[in-house]
Amino acid sequence: MLLTAILAYVVTSPVFVKPLYKSEAIIFVPLTLFSQQFDQQGIGFGNNAEIDGHIQILRSGQLLDSLDRRFDLARQWDISLSEQGGRSRLHRKIQSRVDISKTRYSSVAVSVRDSDPERAAQMANAIVVLGDVIKEEILFENRLSAYQFAKTLFEQKQAEIAALEERMTFSENQSSTSTTGSESLRQRI
């Protein structure tokens, strides 16, 4: 019994098993819908749909790849990305070290475990920043699409207005020609 306890202590000691340090960042997802920002006078946090969407961004492959590029995780964990399934193994490894969850107060907790406490903190902070960058890119693309759609509609309406104005001008010219012809006929009689 004593031998088992000693053996268990030795095998699980930091000599054989590297400890993982945990760093956590808690964020409140801001409102992104202008109408809600206006209603709340620019102050407020995202609703459940926005929070869930932000969590999806934080868990996305794009963010995981950005995290790998920033911290060179594939090299540190000796994962070859050129091998078949290498990127999937890397993503699974990152996902096993990162936990992203919604808190009961409608915030988002980003927890990172790593053998280096400083790197764990840097990774947690980087996930938050990268999530914001990706979200802004998505919002920009959506706004650009909406702008282009509105511009197309505006140009179509301008063309319709120009066509109507042209018809009105033609009708006015026809009308004045008819009136002039009628008046000259009356004058002749």
3-state SS class at 116: coil
| Local confidence pLDDT in tens for the 189 residues of the chain | 666 666 666 555 555 667 889 999 999 988 776 555 555 555 667 788 889 999 999 999 999 999 999 999 999 999 998 999 999 999 999 999 999 999 998 899 999 999 999 999 999 999 999 999 999 898 889 888 889 999 999 999 999 988 888 888 877 777 666 555 555 544 555
Q: Which two tokens stand for residue 101?
A: 């969850």
Q: How many Cβ atoms from other residues are within 10 Å of residue 149's Cβ?
A: 10
pTM above 0.75, yes or no: no
Contact 133, 122 (CB under 8 A): no
pLDDT in tens, 108-149: 999 999 999 999 999 999 999 999 999 989 888 988 888 999
Query: What are the residues whose beta carbons fall under 8 Å from the beta carbon of 28, sequence distance 6 or more?
Result: 45, 46, 106, 107, 108
Residue 161 backbone phi and psi in degrees, to 5: -65, -45
Q: How far is CA 83 from CA 78, 92, 112, 147, in A?
A: 12, 15, 26, 43
